[in-house]
Amino acid sequence: MIPSLIFPVFGYLCGSLPFAIWITRLVKGVDVRDSGSGHATTTNTIRQAGFGWGALVLVLDIVKGFLPVYLAVKYSGNPWVIAITAALAAAGHCWPVFAGFRGGMGLATLGGTLLAVNPLAFLICLALLILLVLVVHHSARASVFTGILAAPALWLLNVRDVSIHVAVAGGLVIAFRFLIDWNRKYRELWLDREKTGKDST
């Protein structure tokens, strides 16, 4: 029997793979964190290396959340082992051991963990994020609210499987990560980019 601790550790190590940093450095010879938003994100990769490379980073960031949680579901089945694995995958993306603990924001990776447990839960949380971005016009604050409200939203919509546990654990990581950017003027998501004035990114 595989020890339960292996899955959270593997989740963190997978999450710590800094694909945005590696790919942008390979393609452009720069550190993706040195300009734009200052984070290792898909959006920043698109700005610096182009849409195609950014799309690749997005897919890889989703996969690195999906894989460890899928394995935890398959070989553990314990809801809290799965939830902790998901949370540590997102935390690894935000604070990667392989990149000086300066990573991204964790949304794509957390999305991958939700895909691994329930695609419907992923779609609901994505819709909630987009709705809140459109309402509050600030991605960091919308992400904090999404992290807090994801689990209650799933419960109200009768999605009451292990994705609730993932939403609670991973949502707290996301909420904490984006609290750091609560008052920043830049817009990490294009959905809430300022239409006028100089772009502060």
pLDDT for 120: 97
pLDDT for 43: 85
pLDDT for 186: 52
Nearest CA among 135, 134, 118 for reference residue 190: 134
Angle of helix 79-94 relative to helix 107-117, nearest 10 degrees, comes to 160
Cβ atoms of 151 and 128 within 8 Å: the answer is no
Nearest CA among 112, 139, 166, 90 for reference residue 131: 139
pLDDT for 1: 56
Nearest CA among 150, 106, 144, 148 for reference residue 126: 150
Q: Which residues of the chain have pLDDT under 50?
A: 190-201
Nearest CA among 18, 13, 3, 110 for reference residue 66: 110
pLDDT for 197: 42
188 φ, ψ (degrees, to nearest 5): -70, -35
